[in-house]
Structure 1
Amino acid sequence: MKHILVFCEFITKDEIGGSGRVIEQYVDGLKNKGFKITIFTLLRKKGLPRYERLDENVYVVRYGYFYSLNILFTFLTIIDGIFRFIKAFLTSKVDLIIINQPYVGIVVYASLIGWFVPKIYFFYSPWCEEYLIDKRKRGVGYYLRKIIEKKVMNFCNKIVCCSEFMKNKIVSIHKIKKNIKVLHIGIDTNKFYPAENKIEIRKKLNLPENKFIIFTARRLVPRMGLENLLEAIGMLKKEFNNIFLVIAGSGWLEDKLKTLAKSLEIENYVRFVGKILDHSVFLLYYQSADVFVLPTRLLEGFGMVILEAMSCGIPVISTPVGGPVEVLKNFDDRLLCKNNKPYDIYERIRYFLINKDELQKIAEKSREFVIKNYSKEIFIEEFKKEIEKVL
């Protein structure tokens, strides 16, 4: 049985996020293909076990002290990761390492023994650009992240990314052109499915039963474009009194977004439901919606949430940023906004509010499109082929 070590910043059991859900998909899929998996992830909360068995052939090792961002604790986290990695390496044969972020890749790079094992880097988004968008200035932090990310990627035998958009980012930022494979992620369509009774679900979630519900799930940070979505709702409110926006997620921008909603006088049209950790609850919010909106302003690697929504039979409206363009242009390009500004989001939502019959037809085709093109099975089979090329 081949043994794979997966290095990642978090798993969905500890924290919700797009990369965590991708990792969960491929770990489960590869386990079912006969691989043994050990996940090395950061200890993000006090009290979590350092070692945990998730399944017959899936283990978790939590390392470091990531619940503190103190520089000393950051250094100690890397040292602890190296120690635990070497221990695992010496006690069990390691056939492949999959690195999911540059920060955790430092452990493999600095351990020295990691140089002698085949490696795949799973690229979601450029670390340095995420920093630049959040901080809005270049500095030591930007260049340090850029250097680390390039070294970790060059150190791997193959790079996998989720879209042509992200492949182009790798080439333009890091000047890496070789051994890059675009691999569209897939989802478990058995876990994301249409509602049998939308009204009953809305009652359960205490949502308006007869309003046009717009749902989005995002980290509450600037690049996600939530300010633009709120402004679009402010415009729509002047024409339609039956709209209601639900925002799932958490982040440092939350207070500013709530203040903006109040200044736009749409606080009665918006509900912030926070971070949803329970999959069954997350599913209900998808199923309750009439449309899902992805208002990303900058840097959308793929947008796994659009596949999850579509698998639930919910049409998706997206700004033309990054990976979602590659999905929606092959499905129905009417779902793409012309730009990522508030008016463009307003215009697309307004169009479908007026033409609800068209939206219904799109909803009926959405799940079938995902099953045919973006199922978990397709993704795992393609990823397995790339792994076999490296082994």
Structure 2
Amino acid sequence: MKLLIIAPEQIPVPPPFGGSVENCIYQIARQVSNEHQITIVSLLRNKMPRKSVMNNTTILRVSGGSKQVYLKNVLRLVKGKSFDMIQIDNRPRFAAAVRKAFPNTPISIFMHSMTFVSSPMTTRKLANEDLRNVDLIIGNSKSLQLSLKNRFPAHKEKIKFVHLGVDTDSFRPRMNSASKSFHVLFAGRLIPRKGVPTLLQAVRIARKSVPSIRLSVAGGTRSPAYKAYLKRMARNLGVPVQFKGNLSRKRMPAFYRTGDCFVCPSQKHEAFGLVNVEAMASGLPVIASRIGGIPEIVQHGRNGLLVEEFREPSAFAYNIAKLAKDSELKALLSKRAREDVLHRFSWSITATKLMGIYKAARA
């Protein structure tokens, strides 16, 4: 199959930092390029080449500046070429222009959240019109699939889901877990919905019974004021925390291997929560909000712990202290976390399911 993938306009493929959507595109292409011919069009940035080739995958990079300029450059580059399927990642607003350029080619939109089909990014009416231009809508979890079906019932028959994966060779458990302190990790964007203030308060409470607990936070923000607020809050609470900043993708596996558990205190819907899978692949028990697609990954009492009252710091504190005190439970959850990722969340499983959906759509 000749597949064209159009990446969003903000981060190049492969992403040097962050960019879970762009990393997803890159990892899927790596898995399927032996059997299929993949063309990825992505943002040109820094010293990256305009063209990269790996196996049967070609990555073309174009300049941006705005969504409109970027999309115009993308379509100019692929104009006149032939593809069996076109995948647009997370940008339903691109669909009309892509359909106009390729009137007879099946188009899918791979959605990674509800952000770009919701206010303030768009209206329900506009999103409905955009989705009329695509043949398939792929969500990254059952939860996102259900949310999309509920919001856009006219398109429910073409809405599917594919769980994302993780590089299980890079993200692996550390060999020696002996440590005097209990190290709690968080990774994600430093924005209010991710719940870092809740985590800071939870660590303060948990340290009353386990004083050795400490915290490390990896992630960047576009708001220096918000990061300053979090640092000030940590100081006022007396919480020992290291803010690691925006770590490169190459450094993230080593970051996970420094931890004893991972906490995902999301305060709003998470479509999937890839950081949880990365942490589990790294042999970390995950404590996470029971919200959105997270329970599809983290199974309470089996490979992690889910928090019902996720707006309450004390609920997270209870589970953090529980793991810190119970080494047998921690070891059991850690073992099962790694096993479950190997069986359910590898990139090869993601790629196989996605390409199966595309083959069926073209049959």
Secondary structure at the aligned position of 1:289 is classed as coil
Identify the residue that residue 213 of structure 1 maps to in structure 2. 183
Selected match of 1:83 from 58, 76, 82: 76
* Matched AA of 1:153: L
Identify the residue that residue 56 of structure 2 maps to in structure 1. 57
What are the Cα deviations for residues 270-290 of structure 1, in whole angstroms up to 9, with x where unaligned? Answer: 1111111142x2111111111
* Matched AA of 2:129: K
Shift of 1:210: 2.2
Is the contact made by 2:284 and 2:337 (CA closer than 8 Å) also made in structure 1? yes
Selected match of 2:142 from 143, 156, 164: 164
Shift of 1:31: 0.6
TM-score (normalizing by structure 1):
0.83
Selected match of 1:370 from 322, 326, 341: 341
Deviates more, 1:316-325 or 1:250-259: 250-259
Whole-angstrom distance in 1 between the partners of 2:116 and 2:173? 38
Whole-angstrom distance in 2 between the partners of 1:129 and 1:234? 38
Secondary structure at the aligned position of 1:181 is classed as strand
Shift of 1:169: 1.4
Shift of 1:19: 1.9
Identify the residue that residue 228 of structure 2 maps to in structure 1. 255
Identify the residue that residue 186 of structure 1 maps to in structure 2. 165
Selected match of 1:124 from 92, 101, 112: 112
Shift of 1:186: 2.4
Shift of 1:217: 0.9
* Matched AA of 2:227: E
Matches within 5 A, 1:69-108: 73-86=66-79, 90=80, 92-102=81-91, 105-106=93-94
Q: Give aligned pairs, total.
A: 354
Identify the residue that residue 23 of structure 2 maps to in structure 1. 21
Whole-angstrom distance in 2 between the partners of 1:146 and 1:64? 30
Deviates more, 1:3-12 or 1:332-341: 332-341
Is the contact made by 1:108 and 1:114 (CA closer than 8 Å) also made in structure 2? no
Tell me how large the CA RMSD over aligned residues is: 2.3
Identity %, equivalent residues: 23
What are the Cα deviations for residues 288-343 of structure 1, in whole angstroms up to 9, with x where unaligned? Answer: 11101111111211112212211221111111111111222377276101221222
Is the contact made by 2:303 and 2:336 (CA closer than 8 Å) also made in structure 1? no
Give ranges in structure 1 of 5+ residues lacking alignment: 67-72, 133-140, 200-208
What are the Cα deviations for residues 13-72 of structure 1, in whole angstroms up to 9, with x where unaligned? Answer: 34423222222221111113x2111111234x45543x2214132222223433xxxxxx
Shift of 1:94: 1.4
TM-score (normalizing by structure 2):
0.89
Is the contact made by 2:41 and 2:59 (CA closer than 8 Å) also made in structure 1? yes
Selected match of 1:303 from 273, 286, 297: 273
Give ranges in structure 2 of 5+ residues lacking alignment: none
* Matched AA of 2:233: L
Selected match of 1:230 from 183, 200, 210: 200
* Matched AA of 2:148: I
Shift of 1:221: 1.2
What are the Cα deviations for residues 99-147 of structure 1, in whole angstroms up to 9, with x where unaligned? Answer: 11126x52663561233211121111112577x5xxxxxxxx44x3545
Is the contact made by 1:125 and 1:301 (CA closer than 8 Å) also made in structure 2? yes
Selected match of 1:12 from 11, 14, 17: 14
